[in-house]
Structure 1
Amino acid sequence: MVRYVHYQWAAVFEVEAAMAVAASVVFGVRGLPQVEGAAVAALLGLAGASAFFGLLAVSTRLSWLGGEKRDFECAVPLSDPEAVLPTPRESIRRGFDGAFMVVVVVPSLVFGLLWGPWAIGWAVFFVPERIVKGVYAYFWERRHGVLLWRGKVQEQPLGKDQFLYSSPRTAPPA
């Protein structure tokens, strides 16, 4: 189980690391790109669209837009309130997913090597969306006085990921 906010922030760092890997390879092979106004404008437009779609995903209940607000509101309490939850450091560590990083690196390398160095910028689409979702979830947690978790529930059929919430209490000192 991982805290939802940590999951989103970990994804931001994964994308940044993937872009750094892809940039070092692509720039090493093709050279540094020349600053082009159209390319910068396209990347800024992509980032703006990403932030807009991230905001739509967390602020609406429409399932075809992501509808994470509905998922937040339908979160169920942890069945065992005394369960030992991951520490913030452990939650962040669990939030990292190497497969997602590979999904970003491989197309970035292909696009960058085939079309040009600016093409690795497509991955910037993930960053603003995840930042918006993480910030929204953080304020949602504060507004409701709970911590929002994302994870598998053993009692649920198929063990699919689900949103859970817990008290924000901290563990007593040992």
Structure 2
Amino acid sequence: MRRYVHNELATVTEAVCAVAISASAVFGVRGIPKVDVGWRLAAAVIALSAVFGVLACTRLRWLGNEKRDFEEAVPLTPDTVLPTLGESLRRSLDVGFVAYLAVSTPVVALFWETLVALRPLMFVPDRLAKAAYAAYWERRHGVMLSRGHVPDQPLDEGQYLYSSVRRLAS
């Protein structure tokens, strides 16, 4: 089980690390491209990702799934011990995701278009918007939102769970 906000912020960190690796490799080999339509298109795609991240936190039926999922979260049983801050952050990091982005992105960017090296940035605005909304939702409801599986509760892996802020493991 991992805290939802930690998972989203870990993905942002992973994407930024992947951009640093892929952009330095690609721009080092092919050079930094001049500002043209490609840069504007990259900025537009990143801005569109931010818009979809914000729309995911609304009540729109076909886009706003985060808000509904948070409201349908299941309470944890009182005897469930939540992971510590460090453990939740460690569980949220996915080295495989960074490796996938850091390997696939430069390969495509070197053989196709240099600006593809910035592709991992597409994850950043969307995940930041969802993390900000989750933190707001947690503060408003006075609970911590987690995602995962608890052996005592017969729920699936993707289930949202909430718990009191005061029941943290030390």
TM-score by length of 2: 0.88
Secondary structure at 1:160 match in 2? coil
Q: Percent identity?
A: 44
Q: Which residue of 2 aligns with 1:132?
A: 129
Do the aligned partners of 2:57 and 2:66 also contact (CA within 8 Å) in 1?
yes
Q: Distance in 1 between matches of 2:56 and 2:160?
A: 15
Q: Which residue of 1 aligns with 2:40?
A: 41
Q: Which residue of 1 aligns with 2:161?
A: 164
Corresponding position: 1:112 with 2:90: no
Q: Distance in 1 between matches of 2:80 and 2:20?
A: 38
**Structure 1 residue 171: deviation in Å?**
4.5
Q: Distance in 1 between matches of 2:109 and 2:141?
A: 44
Q: Which residue of 2 aligns with 1:25?
A: 25
Q: Distance in 2 between matches of 1:107 and 1:172?
A: 38
**Structure 1 residue 24: deviation in Å?**
2.5
Q: Distance in 1 between matches of 2:162 and 2:169?
A: 19
**Structure 1 residue 19: deviation in Å?**
1.2
Q: Distance in 2 between matches of 1:110 and 1:9?
A: 26
Number of corresponding residues: 169
Do the aligned partners of 1:145 and 1:168 also contact (CA within 8 Å) in 2?
yes
TM-score by length of 1: 0.86
**Structure 1 residue 72: deviation in Å?**
0.3
Secondary structure at 1:165 match in 2? strand
Q: Distance in 2 between matches of 1:134 and 1:147?
A: 12
The one-letter amino acid of 1:49's match is: L
Corresponding position: 1:50 with 2:39: no
Corresponding position: 1:73 with 2:53: no
Deviations 1:123-145 (A, max 9, x none): 21111000000000000101111
**CA 94–70 in structure 1, closer or farther in 2 if over 3 Å, else same:** same
**Structure 1 residue 40: deviation in Å?**
2.6
Divergent runs of 4+, >4 A: 170-173
Q: Which residue of 1 aligns with 2:120?
A: 123
Q: Which has the higher helix share?
A: 1
Q: Which residue of 1 aligns with 2:59?
A: 60
**CA 61–69 in structure 1, closer or farther in 2 if over 3 Å, else same:** farther
**CA 34–102 in structure 1, closer or farther in 2 if over 3 Å, else same:** same
Do the aligned partners of 2:23 and 2:118 also contact (CA within 8 Å) in 1?
no
Runs (5+) with no aligned partner, structure 1? none
CA RMSD across the alignment: 2.1
Q: Distance in 1 between matches of 2:7 and 2:21?
A: 21
**CA 77–61 in structure 1, closer or farther in 2 if over 3 Å, else same:** farther
**Structure 1 residue 28: deviation in Å?**
3.1
**Structure 1 residue 61: deviation in Å?**
5.5
